[in-house]
Structure 1
């Protein structure tokens, strides 16, 4: 029953996301959809397959897993759906008003990108956030009536692709690609058929990346000096010609990336049988780590999740490997089933409240709507721990607020709406 209810609810969220495209910025819908796919649908598929991997499998039975995950997921989503119900369906914002600042934002981001290579590690996260401004500038230029300006937007997508291939890291490409698709839909108001076609193409592209990522990354990180675009295409061609997508094990391998459930189920198997519940300890650490800078909190938790992962799953990780428990897994590791479900409702309520506050700020400063991807860049991800999510949410909000203050006070940008 819980499995069916969970899958049906994820389908409902999927429709909410698709329907909102072109009408609003469905960032909360995206967050719920990613969570539903990784926490519910991925595990549901895994339970229906014969597992052959020694590590990536479901550690508890389906009833035990779904009877926690689905209620917790529902309680997480309900406050978000309530806040979205009371939100206007469309944000009628005149982005053309802010076009004069677009190229400045673009070059601020590019400048931060260059300077970040020479700055101390303590400023790395600040510069990382400012680097993202180049995408905000590109998004603004998309709304320009000039074709030449719009090329900056498509150039930003090309930059993301080339950067992903050069570093063999595809996270930014996929996540920013979805954000850019949202704004493209706001501008172009595509028909349902077009939205579905583009989403299908994006899913196919993501599957292609996943199928060759390990082999591609191994060669690039191993010192490959040739044409990386050609390498990627050749690896993909080898997969297709060898019948990779027709093998029975392929579906399981592709589902591993989507299935966050194997980690959550490992937590449920290991905790509290072999490791006692954290009883709110990791939540307290996350709050203090996100609020206090490292010089005031020398024991501040490092991002990466290795310590908590190993502690509450009992599974070892290799050096340099990072895996997060996910907030819903961390919720169980702290509070167990019933209280974990309650905590997820509070977490959903907090994010709904935060979203409402940002939108109220947007009535006076509409340009903030362009900065939403920066603020929610880590929040929409379903696999990260609370410390990473809160740290990014608070720090990104501070950096964006500081930038608005500097832009108004020292650059004389008329960012505030006048009645």
Structure 2
């Protein structure tokens, strides 16, 4: 293991330890974001370099030294500015138990989310994103109700988890389920204060569950997307049982064209393709997509008809030189985009600046939480796209800024027209 690889590995381990220690004491969303990035940008590639999958497409396009000599310094700069930037927030303890005084508000917020979940689909295209944000209010409401003294209202929290599971089975898409389960776990940990051995045990169970899910996912999707009309829960459990005892529920090896388990973790194969493509076959973009992302996040589509669209197909093809069908969504990640625009030194500086920016946003939002405890339940909605290591800047910035606009407008409206009272302490 070369020097940069070792440093990168130790950095991710440090983040993992820090994340575990902060569970139950705070809502460590930025720590989670940085840890996910480290797992996908560093640990996944380390596994791939040590044990290549030999997939025809999902492999590392540059050697380990070339890859790690950029990724690790860029990641450390990103991580350092995140941790230093949020250090001041660690001296405060969020009075989250005071959410018990806001069950009535939580129920209304939950109802808003359910309404837009059911009827948001009829909104015109320009408003669909806002409908999506409002539909996620049901999870913020569920978090608030979890702290209620009313045992019946508490069950809404577990009902939201069951709802996520059912929707995931219906669509054969599990990403939102996994993300929201992690968010819910953070709030559960604050309330129950689990021991570190218990946290590590749940992490081990989660890792085994994710590995099993990855093993059966392709087979499950194949049947569901082919029009399976039977009981999807029964199908899901059957495939899990076959995977655990027979080991043949899904063939996702090279000959099937499906990526293996580590390829799902390893975002590095895409980043390595960017390192291979630029500048050998495509010149550095000099900030072109960064500027597009900033303008796209600040202006609505009707004022910016050339606004970049989510999905990443155009940037993926341009940055990697690889083909991607219009129906497939793949992101080059912010760190890949940083390199493609600015090169090694510029990419490292950009990732440091990006970490500084996110830390500043977090500290500002944390000050809002200290004045309005209900706001803490909305933080996962604002950072839903930010924590994804594979997502491009245009998607991350657009979601962060637009979601915060929706959330702040809601609180302004609730305060001025619904006479809601907010505080960090006693009853509203």
TM-score by length of 1: 0.96
Question: Residue in 1 aligned with 2:349?
Answer: 342
Q: Distance in 2 between matches of 1:147 and 1:83?
A: 38
Question: Residue in 2 aligned with 1:60?
Answer: 62
Question: Residue in 1 aligned with 2:21?
Answer: 19
Q: Distance in 2 between matches of 1:92 and 1:418?
A: 7
What's the offset of the Cα at 1:92?
2.2
C-alpha contact 2:86 2:363 (8 A) present in aligned 1: no
Q: Distance in 2 between matches of 1:195 and 1:16?
A: 13
Sort the Cα spacing of 1:228 and 1:400 in 2 relative to 1 into closer, same or farther, 3 A: same
Is the aligned partner of 1:45 residue 2:52? no
In the alignment, structure 1 segments of 5+ residues that lack a partner are none
Deviates more, 1:138-147 or 1:270-279: 138-147
Question: Residue in 1 aligned with 2:10?
Answer: 8
What's the offset of the Cα at 1:145?
2.3
Question: Residue in 1 aligned with 2:152?
Answer: 148
Q: Distance in 2 between matches of 1:6 and 1:225?
A: 47
Q: Distance in 2 between matches of 1:50 and 1:244?
A: 22
1:281-340 CA deviation, whole Å, 9 max, x = no partner?
000000000000001000000000000000110100123001000000000000111110
Sort the Cα spacing of 1:51 and 1:201 in 2 relative to 1 into closer, same or farther, 3 A: closer
Question: Residue in 2 aligned with 1:395?
Answer: 402
1:220-269 CA deviation, whole Å, 9 max, x = no partner?
11111111111112222233333359x9969x811000000000000000
In the alignment, structure 2 segments of 5+ residues that lack a partner are none
Question: Residue in 1 aligned with 2:36?
Answer: 34
Match of 2:421 among 410, 414, 417: 414
Q: Distance in 2 between matches of 1:8 and 1:244?
A: 36
Aligned pair count reads 419
Is the aligned partner of 1:328 residue 2:335? yes
Q: Look up the SS of the partner of 2:358 in the other structure.
A: helix
C-alpha contact 2:106 2:145 (8 A) present in aligned 1: yes
Q: Distance in 2 between matches of 1:397 and 1:225?
A: 40
Q: Distance in 2 between matches of 1:239 and 1:319?
A: 32
Q: Look up the SS of the partner of 2:306 in the other structure.
A: coil
C-alpha contact 2:112 2:135 (8 A) present in aligned 1: yes
Question: Residue in 2 aligned with 1:256?
Answer: 263
Q: Distance in 1 between matches of 2:370 and 2:398?
A: 26
Deviates more, 1:100-109 or 1:68-77: 100-109
Is the aligned partner of 1:191 residue 2:195? yes
What's the offset of the Cα at 1:391?
0.1
C-alpha contact 2:297 2:402 (8 A) present in aligned 1: yes
Q: Distance in 2 between matches of 1:357 and 1:314?
A: 39
TM-score by length of 2: 0.94
Q: Distance in 2 between matches of 1:162 and 1:248?
A: 24
